[in-house]
């Protein structure tokens, strides 16, 4: 018991069991207040003392992510130091997105299992701002990548194949101490229920292995991954922009000369190096890829995930086509959309599809298309 001052009746004695709940509640309130988002805000704004002055108002303001630093658009032109972006994933779309971000002025790093091959496909060694390819050959490499990821302003997750980021790698790129402000995730059309595995296999065999016609299990796997990314991003106060598409096509430089002294020389540089075409062992895929990069570099944007996946027969027929389609998207266009996603000041979800065009949309055109689609949804 604890003696407390009383009135005319003398000291009162209060049982400790009535005090302890109050202590627990005070400590619990402090724990709720000290969220990762709020702790980071205090680090960036040391003059703020939310636990001693207007705590509820400060916590509500920070949890709504209205901190000017975190809400500012990640635009190299508006920053004294170019924002940093880390790209994780695999395939041509990850490489192309990294090249696109670096070309826009971002300090761009990418986890690479084959640095020499990736550098040849990027062909940016003479660029003023080349992509930093981070190998994973040793523990020291892994530690260096983890430090780079934790300090990044933007994170892009993009896979060419039907893969998702493993949880262990997700822990590394989005730790509790992450300073990331924007997470751009490439996902796919998930509005259908998926198709049976034998039909999926037949469709891929008839068209190409990159055609998007997922099984129900793969649809659920991607939905679960999107949920995990959203949860991790919420913990660190970052906004998530989900970019959806169907079958990915193209990704090379664009127009290639076919005659004269310049035969075989790339005349445009919208995507990866011409060497990318040489890595495509399937003749049909290579032909479609090069045609797509010549005639179908345009893009259309709609909010959400409105397009249903094609049935496997239609998917097989469309797999080798370079005609514009709501269920196809160019890698060059999707890379531009992911860059635009990093630049957005708030989260969003939109779908990119292909359109006829000899050149991809400019950064300003991407901003207008995405803003219009999201605003009118």
pTM for the full predicted model: 0.80
Q: What is the pLDDT of residues 55-88, one digit of tens each?
A: 333 333 344 444 444 545 688 888 888 999 999 9
Tokens coding 74: 């990640």
- Residue 314 pLDDT class (50, 70, 90 cuts): confident
Give, in order, the Cα–Cα distances in Å from 369 to each of 106, 290, 298: 22, 26, 12
Average pLDDT of the residues of the chain:
81
If DSSP codes are grouped into helix, strand and coil, which group holds residue 279?
coil
Residues in CB range of 308: below 8 A, 6 or more apart: 189, 191, 192
What does the block give as tokens for 162? 């039907």
User: Is the CB of residue 180 less than 8 Å from the CB of residue 152?
Assistant: yes
Whether 365 shows a pLDDT value over 60: the answer reads yes
Q: What is residue 39's predicted lDDT score, i.e. its pLDDT?
A: 45
Q: Which helix (H) or strand (E) holds 205?
A: helix 197-206
More confident residue, 228 or 198: 228
- Region 127-152: mean pLDDT is 91
| Backbone φ, ψ for residue 357 (5° rounding) | 170, 145
pLDDT at 207: 61
pLDDT at 211: 82
Is 87 in contact with 81 (CB distance < 8 Å)? no
Nearest to 82 by CA among 38, 132, 118: 132
Please write the tens of the pLDDT for every residue from 9-30: 555 554 544 444 444 444 444 4
Residue whose token pair is 């890829």: 289
Q: Is 50 exceeded by the pLDDT of residue 295?
A: yes
Which residues touch 372 (CB under 8 Å, ≥6 apart)?
301
Nearest one of 143, 177, 160, 162 to 338, comparing CA atoms = 160
For 80-107, what is the mean pLDDT? 95
Average pLDDT score over residue span 258-278: 89
Q: How many whole angstroms separate alpha carbon 352 and alpha carbon 359?
A: 16
Model confidence band, residue 258 (pLDDT cutoffs 50, 70, 90):
confident
Are 256 and 266 within 8 A, CB to CB?
yes
Residue 342 main-chain phi, psi, to 5 deg: -65, -35
Q: pLDDT, tens digit, for every residue of 319-330?
A: 788 999 998 999
Comparing 153 with 78, the larger pLDDT belongs to 153
């Amino acid at each position: 018991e604890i003696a407390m001052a009383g009135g005319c009746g003398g000291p009162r004695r209060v049982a400790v069991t009535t005090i302890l709940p109050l202590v627990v509640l005070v400590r619990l309130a402090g724990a709720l207040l000290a969220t990762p988002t709020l702790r980071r805000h205090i680090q960036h704004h040391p003059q703020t003392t939310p636990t001693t002055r207007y705590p509820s108002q400060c916590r509500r303001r920070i949890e709504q992510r209205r901190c000017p630093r975190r809400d500012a658009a990640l635009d190299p032109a508006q920053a004294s130091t170019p924002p940093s972006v880390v790209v994780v994933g695999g395939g041509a779309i990850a490489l192309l997105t990294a090249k696109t971000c670096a070309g826009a002025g971002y300090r761009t790093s990418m986890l690479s299992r084959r640095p020499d091959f990736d550098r040849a496909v990027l062909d940016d060694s003479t660029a003023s701002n080349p992509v930093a390819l981070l190998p994973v050959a040793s523990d020291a490499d892994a530690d260096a990548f983890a430090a780079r990821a934790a300090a990044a302003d933007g994170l892009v997750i993009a896979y060419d194949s039907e893969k998702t980021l493993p949880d262990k790698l997700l822990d590394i790129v989005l730790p509790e101490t992450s300073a990331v402000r924007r997470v751009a995730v490439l996902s796919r059309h998930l509005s259908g229920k998926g198709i049976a595995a034998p039909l999926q296999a037949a469709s891929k065999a008839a068209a190409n292995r990159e055609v998007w016609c997922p099984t129900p299990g793969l649809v659920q796997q991607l939905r679960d991954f999107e949920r995990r990314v959203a949860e991790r991003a919420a913990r660190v106060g970052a906004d998530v922009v989900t970019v959806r598409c169907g079958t990915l096509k193209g990704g090379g430089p664009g127009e290639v000369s076919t005659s004269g002294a310049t035969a075989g020389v790339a005349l445009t540089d919208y995507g990866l190096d011409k060497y990318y075409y040489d890595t495509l062992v399937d003749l049909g895929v290579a032909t479609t890829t090069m045609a797509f990069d010549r005639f179908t570099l345009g893009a259309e944007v709609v909010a959400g995930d409105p397009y249903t996946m094609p049935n496997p027969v239609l998917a097989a027929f469309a797999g080798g086509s370079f005609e514009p389609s709501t269920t196809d998207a160019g890698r060059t266009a999707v890379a531009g959309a992911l860059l635009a996603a990093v630049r957005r000041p708030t989260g969003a979800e939109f779908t990119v599809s292909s359109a006829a065009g000899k050149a991809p949309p400019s950064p300003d055109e991407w901003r207008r298309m995405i803003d219009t689609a999201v605003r009118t949804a």
